[in-house]
């Protein structure tokens, strides 16, 4: 096994947004930073997440912004105290990337792309105007071994030239969550950290799709899987009394539902399934119309028209809408104006399982914040720091995930500086 000649000043394992942001803070402070990653190139998940438009952050006010982090709102708010959503926009501008606020208050680069920002960021890390350049070690997969040394830690990586041992004064892990394993976030670190007496909450899907109870019929799935259900309302109240209500859109899948509106309520649905093995939410297929108006249109004489044609002409319900009604309701309910009108505004959909963790946008669980100091150093292993999605917090899509990864990377880096007395 090869070994590096002299101890590194700081090693970061994980070249995603949290790790890169930590590297930026440290390099600007004059620290020699070495970043290790198992992938052939930097920021794989960052690039893929930005394919549909890189959502950097969200422009809503402070109270609303931090509330999106739920039970971890207070802890995450501390990360944003000195680096909030406005600071993220300013940081992007410093890289030459202008941003704009969309109609939903989400913040995007003007060209919507992730690659130009990542290229500019890596150039600055490798050729900084101040501080020291960051050294990258790609195709270096940490094996999970971590040993205490007189000067800090020793750790091993599998590399293209065989196993290699490195020593470092401080180690920062930014290994991602448990979703999208093909891009490096495989959650293998859970067992490794537990062996180091670091408390880890099991990883669970977040911002995920769900399988409907009993599955869709073969006809419905074959015809509508992949189809979006737009401009619908969704209501859900769990057994603990937490309520969710929002208008938006989602997608019918082969086995259930996914998409932005489902992701927004996914934490509530997931937790309810864990408690009761199922969860039922309600759809309003025409949220712009009052229940009285819907009932009036349903009751309107349809003559020789089929029910689907009648609902299309009177309520502009599509084939997807009407087939979904057929999927959920009994024949008696479909032929009863009162029951049908009520279902159009309050259609029950029961889900029984999340989709697998690897399919989720993000993951919940991870290193418990109680196992860390406010500077994100582990209580059990002084000098070992954590950042990003591998920490035990979660948030909806909308720029919150990336914002917290970036902010936690800065907090951890500042903690490293303090630990080293710099």
Q: Are residues 313 and 265 in the same domain?
A: yes
CA distance 219 to 66: 43
| pLDDT for res 4 | 61
Pairing between β-strand 200-206 and β-strand 33-37 as defined by DSSP bridges:
unpaired
* pLDDT of 6 over the 80 cut: no
In the chain, the percentage of residues whose pLDDT exceeds 90 is 91
Q: Are residues 284 and 370 in the same domain?
A: no
* pLDDT of 5 over the 60 cut: no
Mean pLDDT along residues 16-31: 97
For residue 390, give the nearest of 368, 412, 357 by alpha carbon: 368
CA distance 28 to 24: 6
CB 188 within 8 A of CB 346: no
CA distance 215 to 236: 20
Using the structure block, give the residue that is written with the tokens 């960021």: 121
| pLDDT for res 44 | 87
Q: Which two tokens stand for residue 310?
A: 């009648």
Question: Which among 354, 372, 387 is the end of a domain?
Answer: 354
CA distance 98 to 112: 10
CB 12 within 8 A of CB 33: yes
List the domain range (segments joined by +) for residue 28. 2-205+363-419
Helix (H) or strand (E) holding 157, with range, is strand 153-159
Mean pLDDT along residues 96-123: 95
Q: Which two tokens stand for residue 418?
A: 């303090």
First to last CA, the chain: 32
Mean pLDDT along residues 323-329: 96
Q: How confident is the model at residue 1 (pLDDT cuts 50, 70, 90)?
A: low
Q: What is the CATH number of the domain that holds 370?
A: 3.50.50.60
Q: Are residues 389 and 414 in the same domain?
A: yes
CA distance 381 to 87: 31
At a CB cut-off of 8 Å and minimum separation 6, what does 118 contact? 42, 43, 46, 47
For residue 341, give the nearest of 304, 305, 311, 308 by alpha carbon: 311
Q: Measured between alpha carbons, how far is residue 307 from residues 88, 109, 304, 312 in Å? A: 52, 46, 9, 8
Question: Which region among 54-58, 204-208, 243-247, 301-305 has the lowest average model confidence (pLDDT)?
Answer: 301-305
| pLDDT for res 3 | 62
Residue 80 CA to chain centroid, in angstroms?
A: 17
Q: Are residues 100 and 24 in the same domain?
A: yes
Q: Are residues 234 and 381 in the same domain?
A: no
Burial class (CB in 10 A: 0-12, 13-18, 19+), 116: middle
CA distance 333 to 325: 10
In the chain, the percentage of residues whose pLDDT exceeds 70 is 99
Q: Are residues 259 and 141 in the same domain?
A: no
What are the pLDDT digits (tens) for 355-405? 999 999 999 999 999 999 999 999 999 999 999 999 999 999 999 999 999
The mean pLDDT value of the chain amounts to: 95
Alpha helix ranges (H) inside 54-185: 62-67, 73-80, 85-94, 115-126
Q: Is 269 helix (H, G, I), strand (E, B) or coil?
A: helix
CA distance 314 to 317: 8
Q: Are residues 397 and 252 in the same domain?
A: no
What are the pLDDT digits (tens) for 70-90? 999 999 999 999 899 999 999
CB 165 within 8 A of CB 1: yes
Q: Are residues 188 and 310 in the same domain?
A: no
Q: Is 27 helix (H, G, I), strand (E, B) or coil?
A: helix
pTM score, two decimals?
0.92
The number of residues making up the chain comes to: 422
| pLDDT for res 64 | 95
What are the pLDDT digits (tens) for 181-216? 887 788 999 999 999 999 999 999 999 999 999 999
Question: Which among 354, 383, 411 is the end of a domain?
Answer: 354
Mean pLDDT along residues 315-320: 96
Question: Which among 311, 327, 354 is the end of a domain?
Answer: 354
Q: Are residues 259 and 288 in the same domain?
A: yes
Q: Are residues 229 and 113 in the same domain?
A: no
Q: Are residues 370 and 346 in the same domain?
A: no
CA distance 142 to 187: 12
Q: Are residues 118 and 218 in the same domain?
A: no
Number of domains making up the chain: 2
């Amino acid at each position: 096994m090869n070994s590096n000649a002299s101890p590194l000043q700081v090693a970061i394992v994980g070249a995603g947004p949290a790790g890169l942001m930590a590297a930026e803070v440290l390099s600007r402070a004059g620290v020699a930073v070495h970043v290790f990653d198992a992938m052939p190139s930097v920021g794989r998940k960052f690039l893929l997440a930005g394919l549909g438009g890189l959502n950097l952050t969200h422009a809503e006010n402070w109270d609303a912004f931090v509330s999106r982090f739920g039970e971890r709102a207070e802890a995450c708010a501390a990360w944003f105290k000195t680096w909030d959503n406005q600071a993220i926009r300013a940081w992007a501008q410093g890289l030459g990337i202008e941003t704009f606020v969309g109609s939903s208050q989400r913040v995007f680069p003007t060209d919507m792309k992730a690659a130009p920002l990542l290229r500019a960021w890596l150039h600055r890390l490798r050729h900084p105007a101040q501080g020291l350049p960051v050294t990258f070690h790609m195709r270096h997969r940490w094996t999970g071994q971590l040993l205490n040394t007189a000067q800090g830690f020793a750790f091993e990586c599998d590399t293209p030239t065989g196993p290699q041992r490195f020593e470092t004064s401080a180690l920062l892990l930014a290994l991602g969550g448990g979703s999208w394993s093909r891009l490096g976030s495989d959650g293998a670190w859970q067992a490794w950290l537990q062996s180091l007496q670091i408390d880890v909450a099991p990883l669970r899907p977040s911002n995920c799709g769900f399988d409907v109870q009993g599955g869709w019929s073969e006809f419905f799935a074959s015809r509508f899987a992949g189809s979006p259900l737009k401009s619908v309302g969704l209501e859900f109240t769990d057994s603990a009394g937490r309520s969710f209500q929002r208008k938006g859109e989602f997608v019918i899948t082969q086995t259930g539902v996914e998409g932005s509106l489902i992701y927004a309520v996914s934490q509530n649905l997931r937790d309810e399934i864990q408690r009761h093995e199922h969860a039922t939410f309600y759809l309003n297929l025409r949220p712009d119309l009052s229940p009285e108006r819907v009932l009036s249109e349903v009751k309107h004489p349809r003559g020789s028209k089929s029910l689907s044609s009648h609902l299309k002409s009177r309520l502009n319900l599509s084939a997807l809408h009407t087939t979904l009604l057929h999927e959920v309701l009994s024949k008696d309910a479909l032929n009863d104006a009162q029951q049908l009108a009520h279902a159009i505004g309050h259609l029950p959909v029961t889900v029984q399982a999340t989709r697998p963790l690897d399919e989720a946008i993000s993951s919940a669980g991870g290193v418990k914040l109680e196992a860390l100091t406010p500077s994100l150093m582990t209580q059990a292993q002084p000098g070992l720091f954590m950042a990003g999605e591998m920490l035990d917090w979660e948030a909806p899509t909308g720029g919150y995930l990336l914002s917290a990864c970036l902010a936690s990377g800065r907090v951890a880096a500042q903690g490293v500086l303090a630990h080293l007395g710099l």
